[in-house]
A and B are shown apart, each in its own frame.
Chain A
Amino acid sequence: MSYKVTEENNVSIVHLDGEIDMDVTEKAKEVIMPLIEAKKEVHLNLKDVQYMDSSGISVLIESHQKATELGTKVVLKDISKSVLKVIMMAKLEQILNLG
Chain B
Amino acid sequence: MNSSVENNISEKKDFVVSSSSLKDVRSFSREVFSKVNLNQDLKDELVLAIAEAAQNIVKHAYQNQETDDKMEIKISLDNGELEIGFFDKGRPVDNSNVRHRKIDDVKPGGLGTFFIKQIMDAVVFKEGEKPWINHLILTKKINY
State the A residues within 8 Å of B (CB): 19, 21-23, 51, 53-55, 57-59, 61-62, 65, 82, 85-86, 89-92, 95
Contact = CB atoms under 8 A, between A and B. Distances in A.
B34 interface: no
Interface footprint category on B: 20 to 34
A53 B58 CA distance: 14
Determine the main DSSP class of A at the interface with B: helix
Interface of B: 19-20, 22-23, 26, 41, 44, 48, 51-52, 55, 58-59, 103-104, 106-109, 111-112, 114-115, 118
A21 B22 contact: yes
6 contacts: A21-B55, A51-B26, A54-B115, A65-B107, A82-B44, A90-B114
A82 B32 CA distance: 20
